[in-house]
Structure 1
Amino acid sequence: MTEPGYTLFETAIGLCAIAWGEAGIIGAQLPEGDAARSRARLARRFPDAREAPPPPAVSRAIAEIVALIAGEPRDLHAIQLDMAGVPDFHQKVYQVARAILPGETLTYGEVAKRIGEPGASQAVGQALGKNPFPIIIPCHRVLAAGGKTGGFSANGGVETKFRLLTIERARTSAEPTLFDGDSAFGFAAPPRQKSRSG
């Protein structure tokens, strides 16, 4: 990677952005409504970065992100992130969140337990709210207890979060859905066993 740069790119949910530096990706951004707003936010977040054609590693990352948002299963672990300046607690939270596969979810409490800090659900939520790498670190896959959405700091808020979860065919609660048993959906449940009395 070279000097700090950024680029905007189209996805199934709108115009996203990615910024890079010498040590890897320094940030990602979900749609802000239009290109002007996206560029303005990028300028605030990364004042040293200039809009530029992405280097090959960033182009590959963009292709993977576009495919994931289009509903294709993708594992974004190979994308190199520059975590310089990210607090240690946040890095632990992001490591757990990054391990959640498309179509799966965890609660804030489950993430807190996995980092060895049960009871830190609120701090987990705050860390995810400051996630500089949305989609690459899939904070949208972390929900509040009972399948409630929790917050989402991206433009569009919870609506954007649910849109991403719907694209990934994620189950957001244990309640049965109209699609249980339909093999076209990733959360298809096995057929129910008949009771012995019936």
Structure 2
Amino acid sequence: MNLESKGFALFDTAIGACGIAWGPRGIAGVQLPESGEGATRERMRRRFAQWPEREPPPVVGPAIAGIRALLNGEPRDLAEIALDLEGVSEFHRRVYEIARRIPPGRTRTYGDIAAELGDKGLARAVGQALGLNPFAPVVPCHRVLAAGGQWGGFSAHGGAASKLRMLAIEGARPDSDSGHLF
């Protein structure tokens, strides 16, 4: 992605106003809706304090369209969106890479990702990495559950309820007997 300047913008989705920030190396951050547009804007201003709010350049348009489509229920993996991973640790990069391969409507557990990383004991570290995910839903941390399919935490506004809402939008369904998701 060749972008001439840094900036951020808000855009409407089916679940509320999201934020997106871009720079010369790609998308630098995505923000799921906060309690309202003003709260989302304030969160973006804190995260990208030196970056102006501006109209996104045309190259950011497909990322916005993809995120909107996903949050509107279209099965999108958003793998085509180039992310600027500067400042993201190698461990977090590996976790995010694995999470990005989870198809819409499907889930994995923190332990599954830890095992793929080579050490099931890393499940808590995987959860912490996803809790700091600066790219949700492009890095679909909402598709990662706790052991046994339990919902686990979700750092976006609304917590686990937002996670379940996003999974429902994607077509993942809870098991009515246990409350677990497949």
Instruction: Place the TM-score, normalised by the shorter chain, in its bin.
Output: over 0.9
- 1:33 aligned onto 2:35: yes
Query: 1:104: Cα distance to partner?
Result: 0.5
Tell me which residue corresponds to 2:99. Answer: 97
Deviations 1:52-103 (A, max 9, x none): 1111221110001101110011131110100000011100100000000001
Tell me which residue corresponds to 2:90. Answer: 88
Q: Check conservation: 1:93, 1:111, Cα contact below 8 A.
A: yes
Structure 2 length-normalised TM: 0.93
- Which of 17, 24, 27 is matched with 2:26 structurally? 24
Q: Check conservation: 1:105, 1:171, Cα contact below 8 A.
A: no
Unpaired stretches in structure 2, ≥5 consecutive residues? none
Identity within the alignment, %: 54
Secondary structure of the residue aligned to 1:159 is: helix
Secondary structure of the residue aligned to 1:51 is: coil
Say which is worse superposed, 131-140 or 117-126, in terms of deviation: 117-126
Query: 1:3: Cα distance to partner?
Result: 1.5
- Which of 169, 172, 194 is matched with 2:171 structurally? 169
Say which is worse superposed, 101-110 or 33-42, in terms of deviation: 33-42
Unpaired stretches in structure 1, ≥5 consecutive residues? 178-186, 188-198
Structure 1 CA distance for aligned equivalents of residues 108 and 45 of structure 2: 33
Instruction: Name the CA shift for 1:63/1:18 in 2 (closer, same or farther; >3 Å).
Output: same
Tell me which residue corresponds to 1:4. Answer: 6
The amino acid of 2:76's aligned partner reads R
Instruction: Name the CA shift for 1:116/1:103 in 2 (closer, same or farther; >3 Å).
Output: same
- 1:48 aligned onto 2:82: no
RMSD (CA atoms) = 1.7
Structure of higher CA gyration radius? 1
Tell me which residue corresponds to 1:75. Answer: 77
Q: Check conservation: 1:105, 1:172, Cα contact below 8 A.
A: no
Structure 1 length-normalised TM: 0.85
Q: Check conservation: 1:4, 1:48, Cα contact below 8 A.
A: no
The amino acid of 2:37's aligned partner reads A
The amino acid of 2:61's aligned partner reads S
Deviations 1:12-57 (A, max 9, x none): 1111110001110000000111222112111111112111111122
Secondary structure of the residue aligned to 1:82 is: coil
Instruction: Name the CA shift for 1:119/1:152 in 2 (closer, same or farther; >3 Å).
Output: same
Secondary structure of the residue aligned to 1:25 is: strand
Tell me which residue corresponds to 1:154. Answer: 156
The amino acid of 2:33's aligned partner reads P
The amino acid of 1:134's aligned partner reads A
Q: Check conservation: 2:16, 2:37, Cα contact below 8 A.
A: no
The amino acid of 1:135's aligned partner reads P
> How many residues in Structure 1 have an aligned counterpart in Structure 2?
178
Tell me which residue corresponds to 2:115. Answer: 113
Structure 2 CA distance for aligned equivalents of residues 36 and 130 of structure 1: 22
Secondary structure of the residue aligned to 1:26 is: strand
